[in-house]
């Protein structure tokens, strides 16, 4: 069994030289290191914390965060937050109850007292001042963002949990195991896709099939680049390739436990190492059709009346907001539409005039939250539609809603008419 070696400074944090809050964080990082057989700790450049919504935290979680903040713990590397359970500024207008808002605001304030930046978004990689670089060690706890960082950027992070990410932020380190080690980044499966992939929703459906098939493996897609236009120069704006890959990553992470994939001639490690990334015993999968995914993800085909159409899971990019605004110009919506995103992206879209167009049609560009982590049932929402694979997986489970799943055009048509039309393939 390997032995975890700590530096003098790390040992001092472990014995409480910097107080009980830092000591508790170091105990968590060290315990994980021992469980996973790490030999040392690695300094991290950025931390993303998940488990922020009061819906997930409950009273015990809010109390725990306040205690940790009260112990004087402060993050020592740039740290950002996942979505909360409501939009922080407009929660009253949106219909959230004070009973939910009060503990939610208390949790956010505990994070802020610890020095965390309250970004409330699952797409920190779309923020121009955060976007990680190749080779950066990170401790990220949002599974869809983990896949993006490892795969599209070539940074390294494990799938951290809420407390382990916060602990890593407080001590500025994480244990060196899993995807921080080169040998664990090789492909365990080769996935040949023989059917067309024509929409973002198709990439979510592909995520379903691949996630189910490979579990926590590392898929290598030799030919997926056929369906991906070249990456735009400014990836923080999103765009067809970026938006498809973020949806694929969210899907494989939600339906399986994938933290890293490679796309031949497209993602950085595949560009550098080509097929030498594939393990000799890698399994070979062929995907001929996305129908098995749509049959499951479009879970309630008998449901035609829709209470909420939701787009932006992971949080919408600037390019997605532009696409929605262009489609809704001059329209009038019959049902509620949320485009969920970060405050930062909403501000950028506002500057372009896209928020105004969406709002004029009756849609909402909702920041800080999403329809999985928000208590949508308390807002009277029982029947939802989305083009996002991860939303189709989690919202029925976490929010107890009926779900229709299809491409963006179908979703926006449903928002305009108030009814879902056709089956996914029509
Ligand atoms: Fe983000 Fe919510 Fe989807 S946290 S990845 S928009 S389920």
Residue nearest to atom 2 of ligand 1 (CA): 370
Report the nearest-CA residue for atom 1 of ligand 1: 314
Place of tokens 């949002």: 142
Mutate to test the pocket of ligand 1, among 200, 315, 366, 374 (most ligand atoms within 8 A of CB): 315
Q: How many CB atoms lie within 10 A of CB 360?
A: 14
Query: How many angstroms is it from 371 CA to the middle of ligand 1?
Result: 8
Nearest ligand 1 atom, CA 373: 2
Q: Which residue ranges make up each domain of the chain?
A: 8-181, 186-293, 298-417
Q: What is the number of the ligand 1 atom nearest to the C-alpha of 123?
A: 1
Binning the chain into helix, strand and coil, the percentages to the nearest 5 are: 45, 15, 40
Closest ligand 1 atom number to CA of residue 371: 2
Domain 8-181 and domain 298-417, same fold? Reply is yes
State residue 426's pLDDT score.
40
Burial class (CB in 10 A: 0-12, 13-18, 19+), 184: middle
Q: pTM of this prediction?
A: 0.96
For residue 365, the SS3 value is: strand
Q: In order along the chain (426 residues), what is the average pLDDT of each group of 10 residues?
A: 90 96 97 97 98 96 96 96 97 95 98 98 94 96 98 97 96 98 98 96 97 98 93 83 96 97 96 96 97 95 96 97 98 98 96 98 98 94 96 91 96 96 62
Residue 376 burial class via C-beta count within 10 angstroms: exposed 0-12, middle 13-18, buried 19 and up? buried
11 Rama sector, left if φ>0, alpha if ψ -120 to 50, beta otherwise: alpha
382 Cα–ligand 1 center, Å? 18
The strand pair at 173-175 and 41-43 is best described as antiparallel
Sign (positive or negative) of CA dihedral 61, 62, 65, 66: negative
Query: CATH second-level architecture of 8-181?
Result: 2-Layer Sandwich (3.30)
Nearest CA to ligand 1 atom 3: 313
First to last CA, the chain: 56
370 C-alpha to ligand 1 centroid (Å)? 6
Q: What ranges in 282-379 are assigned the alpha helix state H? A: 291-297, 318-328, 343-351, 354-361
The DSSP symbol for 41 reads E
Rounded (10°) angle between helices 240-255 and 200-214: 30
Ligand 1 pocket: which of 311, 373, 376, 405 to mutate (most atoms within 8 A of CB): 373
The length of the chain is 426
Q: Is 120 helix (H, G, I), strand (E, B) or coil?
A: coil
Q: 142 C-alpha to center of ligand 1: Å?
A: 9
pLDDT of residue 235: 82
Pocket of ligand 1 (CB under 6 A): 82-83, 122, 144, 250, 313-315, 340, 370, 372-373, 390-391, 394
3-state secondary structure 42-101: EECCEEEECCCCHHHHHHHHHHHHHHHHHCCCCCCCCEEECCCCCCCCCHHHHCCCHHHH
Which residue's CA is the closest to the ligand 1 atom numbered 5? 314
**Could you tell me the distance, in angstroms and rounded to a whole number, from the CA of residue 207 to the centre of ligand 1?**
15
CB contact set of 190 (below 8 Å; sequence gap of 6+): 219, 220, 222, 278, 282, 283, 284, 285
Q: How far apart are CA 156 and CA 137, in angstroms?
A: 5
Cβ contacts of 19 within 8 Å, gap of 6 or more: 71, 72, 73
CATH topology of domain 298-417: Aconitase; domain 3 (3.30.499)
Q: Are 171 and 25 in contact (CB under 8 A)?
A: yes
Quote the CA–CA distance of 269 and 359 in Å, as a whole number. Answer: 41
Q: Which residues contact 46 (CB under 8 A, 6 or more apart)?
A: 77, 78, 79, 80, 124, 130, 132, 136, 138, 139, 140
Residue 212 is given by DSSP the state H
- Condensed to tens digits (0 to 9), the pLDDT of residues 193-215 reads 999 999 999 999 999 999 999 99
Rounded CA separation 402/288 (Å): 28
Angstrom distance (rounded) from CA 110 to CA 113: 5
Given a contact cutoff of 8 angstroms between Cβ atoms, the answer to whether 211 and 259 are in contact is: no
Q: Which of 120, 340, 370, 403 to mutate to test the pocket of ligand 1 (most atoms within 8 A of CB)?
A: 370
Give the start-end residues of each E strand in 352-401: 364-367, 383-386
Can you read off the two tokens belonging to residue 115? 């020095």
């Amino acid at each position: 069994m390997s032995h975890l070696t700590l530096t003098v400074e790390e040992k001092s944090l472990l014995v409480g030289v910097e107080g009980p809050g830092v000591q508790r964080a170091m105990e968590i990082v060290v315990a994980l290191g021992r469980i996973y057989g790490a030999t040392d700790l690695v300094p991290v450049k950025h931390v993303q914390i998940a488990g922020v919504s009061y819906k997930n935290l409950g009273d015990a979680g809010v109390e725990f965060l306040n205690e940790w903040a009260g112990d004087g713990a402060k993050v020592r590397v740039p740290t950002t937050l996942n979505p909360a359970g409501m939009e922080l500024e407009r929660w009253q207008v949106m219909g959230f109850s004070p009973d939910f808002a009060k503990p939610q605001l208390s949790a956010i304030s505990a994070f802020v007292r610890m020095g965390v930046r309250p970004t409330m978004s699952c797409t920190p990689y779309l923020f121009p001042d955060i976007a990680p670089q190749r080779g950066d060690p990170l401790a990220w706890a949002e599974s869809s963002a983990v896949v993006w960082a490892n795969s599209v950027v070539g940074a390294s992070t494990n799938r951290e949990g809420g407390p382990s990410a916060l602990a890593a932020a407080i001590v500025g380190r994480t244990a060196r195991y899993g995807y921080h080690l080169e040998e664990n980044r090789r492909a365990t499966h080769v996935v040949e896709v023989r059917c067309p992939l024509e929409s973002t929703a198709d990439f979510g459906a592909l995520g379903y099939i691949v996630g189910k098939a490979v579990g926590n493996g590392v898929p290598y897609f030799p030919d997926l680049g056929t369906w991906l236009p070249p990456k735009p120069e400014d990836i923080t704006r999103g765009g067809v390739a970026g938006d498809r890959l973020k949806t694929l990553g969210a899907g494989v992470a939600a339906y399986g436990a994938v933290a890293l994939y490679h796309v031949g001639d497209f993602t950085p490690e595949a560009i550098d190492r080509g097929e030498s990334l594939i393990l000799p015993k890698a399994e070979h999968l062929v995907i001929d059709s996305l129908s098995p995914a749509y049959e499951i993800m479009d879970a309630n085909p008998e449901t035609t009346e829709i209470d909420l159409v939701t787009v932006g899971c992971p949080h919408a990019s600037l390019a997605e907001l532009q696409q929605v605004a262009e489609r809704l110009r001059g329209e009038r919506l019959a049902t509620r539409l949320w485009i969920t995103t970060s405050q930062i992206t909403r501000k950028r879209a506002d500057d372009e005039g896209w928020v105004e167009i969406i709002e004029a049609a009756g849609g909402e560009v909702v920041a800080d939250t999403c329809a999985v982590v928000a208590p949508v049932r308390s807002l009277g929402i029982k029947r939802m539609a989305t083009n996002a694979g991860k939303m189709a997986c989690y919202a029925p489970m976490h929010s107890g809603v009926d779900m229709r799943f299809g491409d963006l055009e179908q979703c926006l048509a449903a928002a305009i008419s108030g009814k879902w039309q056709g089956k996914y393939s029509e």
